[in-house]
């Protein structure tokens, strides 16, 4: 397996960090990863190893305000800015793997971004994977908190707040939780602008799910996910008119790829890839 680092600079001057894991020979396809809130691409090295062993490359980047990328922690000027970041990410994918089939894979906040991106941009892809997507969350029942966030988004959009994400709700594996808490590249920060834009994007994606283009879609979710509710993935899948596979892993928490059952989860992902990526 080959591992390389790369980067690019956005038009607003922010420097982005990314990394690539690939087989020694040409990959069958490239899986382009968009990670979740507060984390970074380095937490997916084990996912990359499984994909590489199966003949795929994994290419990832740290979101603006995350990991080794620049920017205020947990902030974005707008959701459209995040979509433009994915534009540039896919351009980097094409630059490094010209002509290879590409798939977008997002988790949590990244899952919502990927679904939103495909609905808005309708890019040429071999497939889409979204796990633990931030389509429905506890925020839906916290109307006062949402109202305050909307007010602050207009008045103090860059005010740093704690995201409230519970590390214990990520995985049943205590080592995963301990590593997450101890990771210096992980943060629990979000600004009112990111919170409001992300909440609105999830609702918009659900409202427009029936417009999902004819691209194979795999949705996976932990049935006991208390961070992003599995009903979001269920509701989205029920509206997709084309090839959509929904797998709800009963009893699993938010990061299905980091649960004790992760080998089974990754095997399911690779089996889906093998069925949908041309030989």
What b/e string do you get for 179-213 counting C-beta neighbours within 10 Å, with b at 16 or more? ebeeeeebbbbbbbbbbbbbbebbebbbeebeebb
Strand-pair category, 189-190 with 244-249: unpaired
Backbone angles phi, psi at 31, to 5 degrees: -95, 120
Torsion of CA 117, 130, 228, 7, to 10 degrees: -60
Backbone angles phi, psi at 9, to 5 degrees: -115, 125
Please confirm, yes or no, whether 225 is among the known catalytic residues.
yes
Give the Cα separation of 62 and 104 in Å (integer): 15
66, 133, 171, 225: the catalytic one is: 225
Which tokens sit at 128?
């889409």
Give the Cα separation of 241 and 52 in Å (integer): 31
**In terms of C-beta distances under 8 Å and separation of at least 24 residues, what long-range contacts does 94-99 make, across chains too?**
96/6, 96/20, 96/59, 97/27, 97/30, 97/57, 97/59
Q: In terms of C-beta density within 10 A (0-12 exposed, 13-18 middle, 19 or more buried), how is residue 279 classed?
A: exposed
Q: Are 166 and 48 in contact (CB under 8 A)?
A: no
Q: Are 132 and 106 in contact (CB under 8 A)?
A: no
62, 69, 107, 108: the catalytic one is: 108
Please confirm, yes or no, whether 108 is among the known catalytic residues.
yes
75, 254, 257, 276: the catalytic one is: 254
Show which residues are catalytic: 108, 225, 254
């Amino acid at each position: 397996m080959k591992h390389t680092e790369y980067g690019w600079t956005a038009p607003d001057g922010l420097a982005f960090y990314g990394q690539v894991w690939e087989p020694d020979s040409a990959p069958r396809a490239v899986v382009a990863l968009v990670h979740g809130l507060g984390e970074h691409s380095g937490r997916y090295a084990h996912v990359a190893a499984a994909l590489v062993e199966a003949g795929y490359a994994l290419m990832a980047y740290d979101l603006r305000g995350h990991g080794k990328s620049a920017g205020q922690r947990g902030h974005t000027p707008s959701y459209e800015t995040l979509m433009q970041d994915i534009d540039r990410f896919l351009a980097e994918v094409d630059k490094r793997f010209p002509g290879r089939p590409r798939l977008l894979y997002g988790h949590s906040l990244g899952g919502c971004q990927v679904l939103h991106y495909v609905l808005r941009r309708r890019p040429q892809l071999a497939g889409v994977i979204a796990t633990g997507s931030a389509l429905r969350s506890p925020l839906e029942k916290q109307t006062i908190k949402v109202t305050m966030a909307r007010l602050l988004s207009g008045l103090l959009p860059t005010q740093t707040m704690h995201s409230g994400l519970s590390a214990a709700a990520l995985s049943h594996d205590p080592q995963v939780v301990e590593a997450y808490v101890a990771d210096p590249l992980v943060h629990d920060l979000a600004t009112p602008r990111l919170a409001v834009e992300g909440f609105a994007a999830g609702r918009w994606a659900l409202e427009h799910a029936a417009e999902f283009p004819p691209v194979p879609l795999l949705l996976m979710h932990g049935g006991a996910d208390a961070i992003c509710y599995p009903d979001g993935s269920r509701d989205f899948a029920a509206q997709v008119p084309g090839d959509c596979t929904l797998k709800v892993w009963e009893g699993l928490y938010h990061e299905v790829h980091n649960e004790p059952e992760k080998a089974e989860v990754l095997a399911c992902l690779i089996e889906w890839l093998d069925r949908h990526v041309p030989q």
